[in-house]
Chain A
Amino acid sequence: MLVTLLKMAWRNLFRRRLRTVLTLAGVSVAVAALCSLLSFQQGYQNGMKGELERLGAHVLVVPKGCPYDAASIALHGASWPCYLKEAYLTQVKRTEGVQTAAPVLMNANYTESGEAIVTLGVTPEILAVKKNWLIAGAFPTSNGEVLVGSAFAKKHNLVIGQTFDLPGSAGISLKVCGTLAPTQGADDTYLHLTLADAQRLMKRPGELTHILVRLSDPNEMEGVVGALRACEAGMEMNIVPLSHLFNTIQELVNSMRLLLGSVALIALFVAGAAVSNTVMMAVSERVREIGVLRAVGASKGDVFALILLETLMLCLIAGVIGCLASAVFAPFIEFWLRNRLPFSPTDTLVKPSLTLSLFCLLLTGIFGAIAGMLPSWRAAKLVPALSMK
């Protein structure tokens, strides 16, 4: 029974090829938009989470200024417009609830080819923050020694023990004392020096760009942040709780998400209307044929099922095409989004996934079923006497 109905519904789709193809195209585009949006949604959230985990800190202490900007610089590596006094570090460390406070002096130089060379002055305290780090060789302990991120080492063909000239800054020669296993984050492109060495090379003695703070208990966030703000140097520092920052950035991205979401939703509604219309036309072309089906024993339910099946098939084919298209175009959408987002994590933003595709297919099926109701009901109402016309 079902097999023949399926066969009929399937073949009916090919009776008006051009019309079917046009409707398929419309629905596919809508599904692709929806699927891309959802995978972006998921990718962005996961990317932000991963970014924060890799940063290892619960709280970021940055110089007064725009906290989002400073946090973004800390996450992605660039030169800083303002600095913190190293002396504040003691106060941060003394604050109750602070487990580790790792001082960082960050700087970026650009080579002639436009590559950003990001150097960070750090102390061994950073190791208590970056729990995911795997170091081959040694952590830098004296001037001229550098711990190289995996991507940088690969790009410049560096091995442990090798000496190289720092690209983008004349006359600085560094010796690779260790390399960092890939972290999938921005650390992979960084060069880590000792804090003292970095301060000397950048001519910023006694200064920091930021402090990475890990709490004894991340649930005590509010209290510790309050205490940090209240300390003597509190006026000179911006205390950025990263989980809040995470939410704030999400909110910044929400407007973009809302826009894209509305577009996808409108597209889906338009596609639904197009499907309804297509199937309605198919029904009105086949009035006599449907009458014949009724004459030879098809019930209203059989006719309803047949037309609904046809609609569902149309939508599901379009759904599959849409999901595939969204997977194929993911890199382009990724590129487009990256250029427009105020902040984007290093992880892939638009990552096609099977679960998400299946979810989109389910949604397409539900939309298809709704779009198919009206034409199916119209068809079921056709009287058998129409077969005689």
Chain B
Amino acid sequence: MKSVDNVVLRAESLTKIYRRGVEEVRALDGVTFSIEEGEFVSIVGQSGSGKTTLLNLIGCMDTPTSGTIEIDGHETSRLSDRQSTRLRSEKIGFVFQHFGLIPTLSVEENIMLPTLFARRAAKGKASELLEQVGLSHRHKHRPHELSGGEMQRVAIARALINSPALLLADEPTGNLDSTNGEAILRLFTDLNRAGLTIIVVTHNPALADAAHRQLNLQDGHLLLESQL
């Protein structure tokens, strides 16, 4: 397989089968696509169509039943736990619907968390990111003292601290009202303009439309543009 210079992510015939006892669930079935550096892509589809499953595979949080994934030219679908941990740490930033902040740590400590596990120091970077998401004045606060929108901005800052090649977000506006949702949308657009590759799973039409491109999932299959 040849890798073109500006492709950050290439998925080939991705299939994921979950087994619950004797029952088999084909959450993903032969999904093939690629994403170029600097793209802003949204993944849409009905509930249960396999969006989160796909994001898990892209983010090296799970391994496909068959098929391959390449990130930055590295085959990642058959990595050991140690290797995939390292890859997540270095190349991927995650944003969750539920924010996923650690309640016992301050805003600043939460943002620094990935640097801790990557064994790097990045004190200056943390305050820079805090400023970028407009929360410098909140760095000592605990997550429960913040609004949902603020929490999600902290989570985005945390996802960016190790300068990832890919930002993955699963329903980042799912727990937010429209105003806060718009703020996140603007932040994503700005980050993308600055060169960040973003893949976002969303039900939010505004966010989906803001992306350059939509991947449409239906029952584990990727629909072609012509099928839309």
Contacts and interface: CB of A to CB of B under 8 A. Distances in A.
Interface stretch (B41-49, B82-90, B125-133): B82-90
B116 A299 contact: no
A12 interface: yes
7 contacts: A293-B102, A293-B117, A295-B88, A296-B94, A296-B113, A298-B117, A302-B117
A181 interface: no
Given A295-B59, A295-B88, A384-B61, A288 B117 contact: no
B100 A292 contact: yes
A192 interface: no
Interface in A347-386: 383-385
B202 to A, nearest CB: 14
A384 B116 CA distance: 17
Contact of A388 (B89, B96, B103, B109): B96
Given A4-B112, A8-B102, A292-B102, A297 B118 contact: yes
B179 interface: no
B98 interface: yes
Interface string A284-314: 0000110011111111101000000000000
Contact of A383 (B59, B61, B94): B61
Contacts of B105: 4, 7-8, 11
A298 B104 CA distance: 16
B170 A296 contact: no
Nearest to A2: B116
B98 to A, nearest CB: 7
B96 A297 contact: no
A387 interface: yes
Contact of A1 (B82, B86, B94, B119): B119
Interface string B67-95: 00000000000000110011011000010
Centre residue among B96, B98, B104, B162 by max chain A CB count within 10 A:
B104
A298 B98 contact: no
B158 interface: yes
A155 interface: no
B116 A1 contact: yes
B116 A387 contact: no
Contacts of B104: 7-8, 11-12, 15
A387 B96 contact: yes
A295 B81 CA distance: 12
**B interface bracket (residues with beta carbon within 8 Å of A):** 20 to 34
Interface string A1-29: 10011011001100100000000000000
A7 B113 CA distance: 12
B169 to A, nearest CB: 11
Give the 4 A-B CB pairs with smallest separation, nearest first: A297-B89, A11-B104, A297-B117, A292-B100
B94 A387 contact: yes
B222 interface: no
Contact of B85 (A5, A12, A299): A299
A299 B96 contact: no
A385 B89 contact: no
Contacts of B159: 296
B184 to A, nearest CB: 18
B193 to A, nearest CB: 25
Contact of B102 (A1, A289, A383): A289
Contacts of B98: 288
A81 to B, nearest CB: 71
B182 interface: no
Nearest to B112: A4
A288 B100 CA distance: 8
A4 B162 CA distance: 17
A83 to B, nearest CB: 77
Contact of A296 (B86, B119, B158): B158
Interface string B115-143: 01111000000000000000000000000
A52 to B, nearest CB: 57
B114 interface: yes
Contact of B61 (A15, A289, A388): A388
B53 to A, nearest CB: 9
Contacts of B59: 295
B66 interface: no
A296 B61 contact: no
B37 interface: no
